[in-house]
Amino acid sequence: MPLKVVVIGGVAAGPKVAAKIMRLNPEAEVTVLEKGRFLSYAGCGLPYYVSGAVQEPKDLMSTPIGVVRDVAFFQKVKNVKVLNETEALEIDRAQKRVRARRHGEAADFWLAFDKLVLATGASPVRLPFPNAHLENIFTLHGVQDAEGIKALVSQAQAREVVVIGGGLIGVETAEALVQCGCRVTLVETLPQVLRVLDWEMARLVERHLESHGVRVLTRTQVTAFEGTGRVSGVLTSQGRLPADLVILGIGVRPQVDLARAAGLQIGSTGALQVNDRMQTSDPDIYAAGDCVESRDLVTGQPCFVPLGSTANKQGRVAAINICGGDDRFPGVLGSTVCKVFDFCVARTGLTEWAARQSGFQAVTVIVPDADRAHYMPGAKPIMLKLVVDASSRKLLGAQAVGPGQGDKRMDVAAMAITAGMTVDQLSKVDLCYAPPYSPALDNIITAANVARNKLDGQVVGITPMEVKQRLDAKEDFVFLDVRSPAEHQQERLPGSILIPLGALRTRLSELPKDREIITFCKISLRGYEAAKILQGAGYERVRVMDGGAATWPFEKLTS
């Protein structure tokens, strides 16, 4: 008898499972149930369809050669039976069958299975506020949402837009709508956008959003929607915001109602609990994608990180095991990248905050530099942050913000964390070098060396946020700028004094030895050199501000 597999969910993990099973076992009978109309679409591409970067919605559902992945495609090419607009209603584990119903039909039907796969995904969180169901309040969770938003924008019916939620979807959607000519306000409850980053890195993104016309309101609560028939305003703790269109980007929840009703184990994150073979608590039922929880590779703890890349990898593992193989999904690092206008924003592993919450003694460095040889046309800055465990010297996490190529540095960091590498090992990795592609010492190698210097006591650092707090508290220290007079004239940091690095040795008498001195320059390379000069001259209380003026997340003074 052929292996009978029923897959519930036809967007990311589900189609991956089905296709891989048919490659491994061409005699299998695989049926996919999808309650929506569209199949196997790239949900992460929806903001780019809204902005016009992707011209047609079918492009998000096509193979690399342009063939649309519809019901006929799966039947003819994959030999997979797909029932779209069909909802799974019940799992009968004892009889190994699923009850389902086609949209618009009154009668249910049952499908028998030998193995069942749950790829039910996640659903967007909605706000339970007055008038939450007014017209023109959207999530951006599917092709139909994107088409509705695009129609309003193209008809010039959405000049004032409020995006609620400063996560990945919220930030990407804000960019898309600005590019469509909308006036966008981004509202976030937390003290920062993009909680996948630490505060000072997220602040750089906020300022970049603001420079492109996005009004960013953090620490702001939404309380209600206004309008008759369609939305006209959003009431917040900061006042009323006019709105022709509202986008809810406040996160997603795993869709586990079907699994819970069937008695399957739900994990501590609220998502389905699976083992590393992607089996649920029922060994004949597998699960993959945004409905399942993963394991954090650094902490070993359960986590919920819904990503299309993870869904596809998990789907492949599930399929191999269903067909008698032995494959394992080890976990995730939460590796994430997004485009914010011309900024690359990326992270992997633990943030500084998460590392400290997990009990690590975290040491951090912030290192800005050009993404290739500085003399090459097209060289662009990136700000890297590394999070390192002081006791083991292992890399725990990394973040990148800026117009330079941060993604490849985060990929290197992800490999280093997965391999359990120390910053000492990372600093000697044999990465490719040519001036059009990187500096002689790649950005991540330089950052690893700075971390080594900190761990070895060669430099004592202080974050820009700590400096700002000490300035605000009017603490007694010298904030020493060692840039050139021209750089200082162009922009300077509050409370700083200027002694250019080249003049420092001859002007040491101007600096008191009984006060702490915090040095900086544009990226704090010269700040580090200044600190070594001061230490060599007998100054004992010297620190270097991480990242220099380039990563100062607060207001600067200009002439």
Taking only the tens place, the pLDDT of each residue in 348-400 is: 999 999 999 999 999 999 999 999 999 999 999 999 999 999 999 999 999 99
**Which amino acid appears at position 125 of this protein?**
V
Residue 263: C-alpha distances to residues 99, 164, 207, 276, 488 (Å): 16, 35, 48, 20, 66
Please state, rounded to an integer, the average pLDDT across all residues of the chain. Answer: 95
Instruction: Grade residue 559 by pLDDT with cuts at 50, 70 and 90.
Output: low
Q: What is the pTM of this model?
A: 0.92
Instruction: Grade residue 78 by pLDDT with cuts at 50, 70 and 90.
Output: very high
412, 416, 422, 427: CA torsion to nearest 10: -20
Q: Residue 488 is inside which H or E element, if any? A: helix 485-490
Query: Given the structure tokens 């979807």, which residue do they identify?
Result: 169
Whether 37 shows a pLDDT value over 70: the answer reads yes
At residue 549, the pLDDT reads 93
pLDDT, tens digit (0-9, with 9 covering 90-100), for 50-64: 888 988 888 888 888
Query: Domains, the chain, ranges and CATH?
Result: 4-123+253-322 (3.50.50.60), 137-250 (3.50.50.60), 342-455 (3.30.390.30), 461-558 (3.40.250.10)
Active-site option among 44, 182, 344, 432: 44
Q: At what angle do helices 308-322 and 13-24 cross, to 10 degrees?
A: 30
Residue 44 annotated in active site: yes
> CA-CA distance, 363 to 249, in Å (whole number)?
33
pLDDT, tens digit (0-9, with 9 covering 90-100), for 105-146: 989 999 999 999 999 999 999 888 888 889 999 998 888 888
C-beta separation of 165 from 173 below 8 A: no
Whether 449 shows a pLDDT value over 70: the answer reads yes
> CA-CA distance, 359 to 377, in Å (whole number)?
44
Residues 6 or more apart whose CB falls under 8 angstroms from that of 380 comprise 370, 371, 402, 403, 404, 405
pLDDT, tens digit (0-9, with 9 covering 90-100), for 190-242: 999 999 999 999 999 999 999 999 999 999 999 999 999 999 999 999 999 99
Taking Cα atoms as reference points, which of 443, 471, 474 lies closest to residue 547?
A: 443
Where would I find the beta strands (DSSP E) of 25-121? 29-34, 81-84, 86-92, 97-102, 109-112, 115-118
